[in-house]
Structure 1
């Protein structure tokens, strides 16, 4: 059927279908970041892995299995850390067993405060010993704490010391907690023993929407390796790691600040989800963070942590776009108006491209009847027909690719915006107008999606088209309806961007149409004047 479209029509259909495919595909298979685990990062540590005794792999598997088993053991709360933004609990096995955010903007759909520590899988700071007998004893021996209840003042910090007395071994964890959600950790063993420290599973606060969920290793020369839930096949070993993260759409548990020589393992659990753990030393120091992936917070703690905010394929475009969005929010103080201002900036930046595409479409529309005549005249000779059509394009300055390239060049920008607004935890609880109280969630009254669909329909109506097949025209006219239904469940901030973008597209198309109407009117008047002159 596509062969009946003009080149410009084929492009528009391709762009529309690619957008639909992108939305549908990322719903089922969220896009992966550059996954270099097999060919790049692991190569750097292959010598280290190969040098380990054969029992190492077996021990690592046992670690993962036992972590899940220990997780089912009933434990009591040993220490509670209270702050304005969160309440953190440490259990009698020395693990961070709970982190509850106090701000209601993070609440799940059930209205309950957000709990960032998963109820299943290994919990943060859990220690697993390679020696099975020692590990069995550790799983039954409770820690003691020098503090049972801590309240963090504003910009304050507090230190808690946990101690576990095992047969012929004493484990000491010294933890310093800060109000911004990060902590410092030091693990000291009285004797040298091989052990692993677990990162913990990712939070499960909200239903994920077309986003990557799982684990991340940020290592080497800015290499990002993503391990998605349900898609981990085996064990990977890394060194020179800047941080390890277990994350969902808005939140993360992160460990960072350890030495380059530290070996970081990513294994699979029974559901093929990633399980991340680090091999410790007798005096092992590192840092951690459990909380929202807010850019300003992560940057203030350690700039490298901003790389934990992952935008998928278009990170190279999305990251600077988000920085512009934050700058606009600093000026305007409202995320909704900042999105509108960002849309204006992007439209100005892309104006030459969009203008060129619109002008090309108008030129093709003007010569469409003549093109059709040429096609009819040489329909039995395809080579001659194509040559004649190209000559016609050249004569009238109409480039059949003129509408293609500008649109194709805009696609990375559009999808980058899509990823930014979908992953920005800053939009949580952000109000815009009277009926939009949370830009990170769908419009409860569907007003923005309907407005988006209406503007898309009107934009389509004033955009030149040269359909010759009525069925093709009907299908194309249904696209605004299809897109409207797609956008019903999208975050309001994302729909707002597309709505405002459509308004600017309509305005620009209107100006181009008026310019061509004026040019046609001028040519018509000149033609009449020439005829009148000939009569005289």
Structure 2
């Protein structure tokens, strides 16, 4: 340390920095990302109204996938598809499984997927549909040969089954398209759990591309990532978020490609044969995935919720479809443990409470050291002030005597912040787990909380969280001398309460429970120090 502030103020600045990180993280998403998202949604609506009868513009001049992404001749009937309904005259096959209903249109594409399980409902209590209007459709085929590609969008497919009932048994059917003698077939095998196997081949060895379509657009909010996620053969995961792709990006050796929003995904995967995938930006720099093929290709697919157990049942590697961000290495095992606790508790709300308690117990040694250090610094505050006053003109002696004081009393000016800093990755991991876990959707807790994935409708939890944060602040030793710093800290419970009003109830429950146990820990340590002080008198 070279001066007074570095000696006495480092601990304060570290604590401020930690809290500022939290505030910035929440404020940036609420004040910057959300307005941007709303503005984009309004602009998209305007553009949609201006071009209701126009085909989506997904052209490119890139020669690495020559001609494949050209779509100028796409049928106008598809561009007019509603996100809530699909024109029955355009549908050639309706597939019903135990978990979803899949509509195949006359160009052999997935026009819509409707989730049939009762836990998946929209805000109006209706069945959730994964795709919006005027979006690139899953399983659309495009040819490298421009002439063939243009003709393909003018020729309807034929089907061997208009109705496929796979609710109880595996079913097979075939789609066929005859493009001036070039015959393309899609052989489907559909399973009751909602996933499918698909083999696509052409009668002549033509290069073509099959797309995963644009991601589901059920819940693409400011809190979670959405875009395209790929897993490579070496296990590496790579995310391309919406509005972040400015040029075509190609991969070889891909195990799966997932187009996803917060809770839902469409996935193409093959764990036996590697896939070659290119991502192409649309007009808004959103990624669109195209799987390369030469004559034929086979793979499996899934369109639905990113439910951990459902994905694991298909293939354990598919659980990587669930994206937790930077702290995946902590978040994924944490979710596994959360699942384990839930198997015994049976309620996700109480599971979150128990998980919070367990985490607090594990981190208790760190928290205890930090709290003890803060208490010692509080007790030393008068002596620190004396040294500051006595050696105000000699910074070197001031630093030396400060260090001697700390050493004599076993105080660490950084001791109160380091434990807090080390807990930041844990917090963000829990944040991502609770944010991305569709298992919380529709999960009730107590009387007024009917969905832990949604905000508290009566703001009870955010207010309780703010009150608990205020109490925690009041009983925590504070050695700050600067009045501005004190005022900032006094405002934090209000600021946090404001932002948590719109947070998922499950996340707010975690924070509130964490505050309660921190209050208990701090209170007990305060009592211990009070008895020690009384004994010395």
Would you call these one fold, judging by a TM-score over 0.5?
A: yes
The residue aligned with 1:79 is: 93
After superposition, the C-alpha distances for 1:183-231 in whole angstroms (9 at most, x for unaligned) are 1000121111110000111111125131111111110321111111111
Decide whether the 8 Å contact of 1:245 with 1:255 is kept in 2: yes
Query: Take 2:400 and 2:273, find their aligned partners in 1: how far apart are those partners?
Result: 63
- Is 1:94 the equivalent of 2:108? yes
Kindly tell me: are residues 261 and 174 of structure 1, through their superposed partners in 2, closer, same or farther at Cα, counting changes over 3 Å?
same
What is the aligned counterpart of 1:457 among 448, 470, 490? 470
Q: Single out whichever of 83-92 and 97-106 deviates more from structure 2.
A: 97-106
Is 1:484 aligned to 2:497, yes or no?
yes
CA displacement 1:498-532 (0-9 Å, x = unmatched): 000000000000111011111111111xxxxxxxx
Q: TM-score, normalised by structure 1?
A: 0.89
Residues 258 and 285, structure 1, Cα contact 8 Å, conserved in 2: no
Residue 443 and residue 207 in structure 1: after superposition, are their counterparts in 2 closer, same or farther (change >3 A)?
A: farther
1:507 to 514, 517, 520: 520
Secondary structure, counterpart of 1:128 in structure 2: strand
Aligned counterpart, 2:50: none
Counterparts of 1:62-461 in structure 2, within 5 Å, are 62-66=67-71, 69-70=74-75, 72=79, 76-154=90-168, 156-257=169-270, 260-461=273-474
Q: How far is the alpha carbon of 1:140 from its aligned partner?
A: 1.0
Deviates more, 1:256-265 or 1:475-484: 256-265
Cα displacement string for residues 367-424 of structure 1 (whole angstroms, at most 9, x for unaligned residues): 0110011011111111111111111111110011111211111110011001100110
CA contact (8 A) 2:199 2:297 kept: yes
- The 1:12–1:258 alpha-carbon spacing in structure 2 relative to 1, beyond 3 Å, is closer
Q: CA deviation at 1:474?
A: 2.0
CA 1:65 to 1:488, structure 2 compared with 1: closer, same or farther past 3 Å? farther
TM-score, normalized by length of structure 2?
0.89
Residue of structure 2 equivalent to 1:10: 13
Say which SS state the counterpart of residue 62 (structure 2) adopts.
helix
C-alpha distance in structure 2 between counterparts of 1:135 and 1:9, whole Å: 65
Distance in 2 of aligned mates of 1:364 and 1:492: 37
- Distance in 1, matches of 2:436 and 2:293, equals 33
Contact 1:144 / 1:163 at 8 angstroms: preserved in 2? yes
- Measured against aligned partners, the alpha-carbon deviations of 1:86-139 in whole angstroms (never above 9, x if no partner) come to 111001101111101123533333444211134233211110011111112211
Q: Distance in 1 between matches of 2:377 and 2:341?
A: 39
Question: Is the partner of 1:317 in helix, strand or coil?
Answer: helix
Check conservation: 2:220, 2:226, Cα contact below 8 A: no
> 1:64·1:275 contact (CA, 8 Å) conserved in 2?
no
User: In structure 1, what is the Cα distance between the partners aligned to 2:195 and 2:387?
Assistant: 70
Distance 1:67 1:223 in 2: 35
1:438 match: secondary structure: coil
CA distance in 1, matches of 2:182, 2:191: 29
Residue correspondences, number: 498
Unaligned runs of 5+ in 2: 35-59, 82-88
Alpha-carbon separation, structure 2, partners of 1:229 and 1:65: 21
Q: 2 CA distance for matches of 1:326 and 1:259?
A: 29
Query: Is contact 2:233–2:274 with CA below 8 Å preserved after alignment?
Result: no
Q: Bigger shift: 435-444 or 102-111?
A: 102-111
Within-5 A mapping of 1:25-44 = 25-26=28-29, 28=32
User: 1:190 & 1:56 partners in 2: Cα distance?
Assistant: 27
The 1:241/1:308 distance shift into structure 2, 3 A limit, reads same
Report if aligned partners of 1:185, 1:287 keep a CA contact under 8 Å in 2.
yes
Describe the superposition over 1:34-74 as per-residue Cα deviations: whole angstroms up to 9, x where unpaired.
Answer: xxxxxxxxxxxxxxxxxxxxx99337364334179455387
The answer to whether the 8 Å contact 2:107/2:140 transfers is: yes
Where 2:154 maps in the other structure, the secondary structure is coil
Q: Is the 8 A contact 1:239 1:260 kept in 2?
A: no
Q: Distance in 2 between matches of 1:20 and 1:168?
A: 63
SS in 1 for 2:69: helix
SS in structure 1 of the partner of residue 344 of structure 2: helix
Tell me: CA distance 1:23–1:73, structure 2 relative to 1, closer, same or farther (3 Å). Answer: closer
Secondary structure class of the residue paired with 1:263: strand
Single out whichever of 282-291 and 319-328 deviates more from structure 2: 282-291
- Is the Cα contact below 8 Å between 1:232 and 1:272 reproduced in 2? yes
Consecutive unaligned residues in structure 1, runs of 5 or more: 31-54, 525-536
Between the aligned partners of 1:25 and 1:475, the Cα distance in structure 2 is 18
What RMSD in Å do the two structures reach over aligned CA positions? Answer: 2.1
Matched position secondary structure for 1:185: strand
**Inter-partner Cα distance in structure 2 for 1:513 and 1:483:** 25
Which residue does 1:43 correspond to in 2? none
